[in-house]
Amino acid sequence: MSESVSAEPTSNPPVSTRVITEVAAAKGESPMDMQPPPYDAIDPSALNALFTHITASQNGTVTFTYNGCTVTVTSSGQVAVQPPTE
């Protein structure tokens, strides 16, 4: 049974970097070795922009699939990764 991986928001690094790191951890891979490369699957600038100026009163999530994992980013900046089921 696979388990979700989750990262709490911090001031650094940006959300796109945390997504890549958490997906790599969920898959047991190095972020540098992931295929397809992250920038071929997601637009890091757009993802970061969505979560740059969020206020406490704004709610929402973005969910997408990357490298076989389901990734959810919340308005609070939390990154949750559900690895693929085998």
Find the helix or strand (DSSP H, E) in which 74 lies: strand 69-74
The per-residue pLDDT of the chain, averaged, comes to 83
Q: In the predicted model, is pLDDT for residue 10 greater than 50?
A: no
7 and 78 Cβ atoms separated by less than 8 Å: yes
The predicted model scores a pTM of: 0.77
Q: 58: which 2 tokens?
A: 């704004």
Residue spans per domain, the chain:
5-82
Q: In the predicted model, is pLDDT for residue 7 greater than 70?
A: no
How many Å from the N-terminal Cα to the C-terminal Cα in the chain?
Answer: 9
Distance, in Å, from the CA atom of 51 to the CA atom of 56, rounded to the nearest integer, reads 12
